[in-house]
Amino acid sequence: EVQLLESGGGLVQPGGSLRLSCAASGFHFSSFAMTWVRQAPGKGLEWVSAIMGSGGTKYYVESVKGRFTISRDNTKNTVHLQMNSLRADDTAVYYCAKDRIAVAGGGLDYWGQGTLVTVSS
Amino acid sequence: QSVLTQPPSASGTPGRRVTISCSGSNSNIGGNTVDWYQHLPGTAPKLLIYRNNQRPSGVPDRFSGSKSGTSASLAISGLQSEDEADFYCAAWDDNLNGVVFGGGTKLTVL
């Protein structure tokens, strides 16, 4: 059974940092891209970042470029999202999701339950 | 403003058919495949359709997807009260080098 378990969310002040983690199990982790998607309060889903199965290629939505870094450890079946210089508009539930294939854009077939990030003073 | 345009709401009565549209451009829907997700607030989103019209295992055949040019549609037939949720389309965008989602459509079963 595929399972994705996010952790690391919480309350942080503007300008602060958080590191989200997603522990994956139930599939051959390194064979699939992994993606982070967020949903701000009262808003729709927003794709944030993706990393290929090999970890060699990474993609980001424009609004987080230079502030967020996605990474993965294929020996520990985990994917991380390092978030720096956080802003109030980064407040959202962050979902970790598994791509159907090794590259991004093929559909997200499994999702975690999400972790809430609140950026506020 | 989302890159992909969806109607904010849709509705139908039990047993009827409803369609949700998703409009994009050549850089996203026109040149790439479309996926559809169902999302109940507070739960994990669920993949309903991938590659325009493919259903993952376990998704009822009441759900179907299609694509033509720079637009796509999700059709739900035999509407059930449990289908009430938010629905999102998504596609890779070659200009933005990332996935773009539609703004979402809230489906109400009357």
Share of chain A above pLDDT 70, in %: 100
Distances (CA, A) of B43 to A33, A39, A111: 22, 12, 9
Q: What is the pLDDT of residues B75-86, one digit of tens each?
A: 999 999 999 999
Least confident of A53-57, B36-40, B93-97, B103-107: A53-57
Phi then psi dihedrals of residue A20, to 5 deg: -90, 145
Name which of A62, A95, A107 is nearest B50 (Cβ-Cβ): A107
Please give the single-letter amino acid code of residue B63: F
Q: Do B102 and A113 make contact, defined as CB atoms within 8 angstroms?
A: no
Nearest to B45 by CA among A44, A8, A118: A44
Name which of A35, A45, A60 is nearest B104 (Cβ-Cβ): A45
Q: Do B35 and A107 make contact, defined as CB atoms within 8 angstroms?
A: yes
Mean pLDDT of chain A: 96
Specify the pLDDT at position B7.
98
Mutate which of A2, A47, A58, A65 to disrupt the B interface (most B C-beta within 10 Å)?
A: A47
Task: State the average pLDDT over residues A28-36.
Answer: 96
- CA B110 – CA B70 distance, rounded (Å): 30
Specify the pLDDT at position B41.
85
How far A55 CA sits from the closest chain B CA (Å)?
16
- CA B71 – CA B89 distance, rounded (Å): 10
Q: Do B98 and A37 make contact, defined as CB atoms within 8 angstroms?
A: no
Residue position matching structure tokens 């290929």: A52
Q: Do A106 and B2 make contact, defined as CB atoms within 8 angstroms?
A: no
- Cβ atoms < 10 Å from Cβ of A93: 20
Identify the band that residue B53 occupies on the pLDDT scale cut at 50, 70 and 90. Answer: very high
Specify the pLDDT at position A103.
85
Task: State the average pLDDT over residues A47-69.
Answer: 96
Task: State the average pLDDT over residues A42-48.
Answer: 97
CB B67, CB A28: distance < 8 Å: no
Q: What is the pLDDT of residues B1-51, one digit of tens each?
A: 899 999 999 999 999 999 999 999 999 999 999 999 999 988 999 999 999
Q: Do B50 and A35 make contact, defined as CB atoms within 8 angstroms?
A: no
